[in-house]
Amino acid sequence: MTDAKANRAARRRKRKGRKSNMSLESKEQLGESAPPQTSPPPSPPPNPKRRKVDAPSNSKSRPGFLEKMRMRLTGGHFRMLNEKLYTCSGNEAFDFFKNDPQLFDVYHAGYQEQMLHWPEKPVNTIIKWLKKHSSSWVVADFGCGSATIAKNVKNKVFSIDLVSNDPSVIACDMAHTPLNSSSVDVAVFCLSLMGTNYPNYLDEARRVLKPSGQLLIAEVRSRFDPNNGGADPKKFFEAVNQLGFSLSSKDFSNKMFVLLYFKKTERNSQVQNIEWPELKPCIYKRR
């Protein structure tokens, strides 16, 4: 083959290579895909023996072990203190908390926790009743706790309890208050007839009440349930009547507590010994 022929043959091969490349580029422009690439092999399945690590729990939504133990200890202290208040006299309770006032805070913290389980609180019912009557009435709140009544009405309120963490609360035995005789219009006992000498508290209320003054008692319903070891309501009404009160109305509609409304009358001087029924202690069960 001559050199001229060899050159022509080389040029033809070069032109064919260019056409072949142009054909491939044209196919890509027309959307014809290139041969599919092989996909990578699937990842191996997780090792079933590998232990799953749980995310740390949210301490705000679920109490930890130490918090649960603290709650149990607090609840235990409350139940112990609650039982003591029901099974000792008012004077003994006053001396007990006077020696260690912090125990009173423990008791009321537990009391507030128990009230969270009540669909309706008797203190709110009493506050509504007071707001419907004269704001000029003077009120004595026996066993006031955190002085809820005084904080929610316009009336002048003497808040009385065994311990005072508030300058407005009078710390004393409820059977012996510093209030003047015939100085208040309404005496309130909201879940506070707790001592074994509870009749002395009611006698003190009679002393400080003005003529025709009002006596309001809210108590746990089971304490007035004879079928469950509680006192006979009729016997209680009769004893309060002999003390010098007449029953104005009663409300047993609530499943948790009863409300009793009395008015001060002349005390029966012929009655020397009143037969008071025993009020069943209200002992909270462990939760």
Residue 58 located in a structural domain: no
Is the pLDDT score of 155 beyond 80?
Answer: yes
Confidence bin at 53 (pLDDT 50/70/90): very low
Q: What percent of the chain has pLDDT over 70?
A: 69
CATH number at residue 196: 3.40.50.150
Whether the per-residue pLDDT at 61 is higher than 90: the answer is no
**pLDDT higher at 40 or 274:** 274
Q: Is residue 198 part of a domain?
A: yes
Q: What per-residue confidence (pLDDT) applies to 7?
A: 63
C-alpha 221/C-alpha 258 separation (Å) is 5
C-beta of residue 28 within 8 angstroms of C-beta of residue 35: no
Per-residue DSSP letter, 135: T
Judged against a pLDDT cut of 50, whether residue 28 lies above it is answered with: no
Whether the per-residue pLDDT at 132 is higher than 60: the answer is yes
Compute φ and ψ for 13, nearest 5 degrees.
-60, -35
Q: Is residue 259 part of a domain?
A: yes
- Chain Cα centroid distance, residue 279: 25
Torsion 58-64-70-75 (CA) sign: positive
Query: What pLDDT is attached to residue 245?
Result: 97
The per-residue pLDDT for range 193-233, each reduced to its tens digit, is 988 999 999 999 999 999 999 999 999 999 999 998 999 99
Give the per-residue pLDDT at 52.
47
254 in a domain, yes or no? yes
Question: Over the stretch 223-265, which tens digit does the pLDDT of each residue have?
Answer: 999 998 999 999 999 999 999 999 999 999 999 999 999 999 9
Question: pLDDT at position 265, please?
Answer: 95
Secondary-structure percent of the chain, ordered helix, strand, coil, rounded to 5? 40, 15, 40
Sequence-separated (6 or more) residues with CB below 8 Å from residue 190: 122, 123, 126, 141, 143, 149, 216, 218
Residue owning tokens 């930890």: 64
* Token pair of 186 as six digits: 């309404």
Higher local confidence (pLDDT), 181 or 24:
181
Q: Which residue has the higher pLDDT, 205 or 268?
A: 205
Is 218 within 8 Å of 258 (Cβ atoms)? yes
Indicate whether 196 belongs to any domain.
Answer: yes
Residue 18: inside a domain: no
The chain-wide mean pLDDT, for the chain, equals: 79
Distance CA 287, CA 284 (A): 9
Cross-strand bridge partners of residue 217: 189, 260
**Can you tell me the mean pLDDT for 7-21?**
61
Query: Rounded mean pLDDT of 257-280?
Result: 86
Backbone angles phi, psi at 157, to 5 degrees: -125, 125
In this predicted structure, what is the pLDDT of residue 105? Answer: 75
Instruction: Provide the number of structural domains found in the chain.
Output: 1
Beta strands in 165-256 (DSSP E): 169-171, 184-190, 209-220, 245-251
Give residue 187's domain range: 65-264
Residue 184 inside a domain? The answer is yes
Confirm whether 240 is domain-assigned: yes
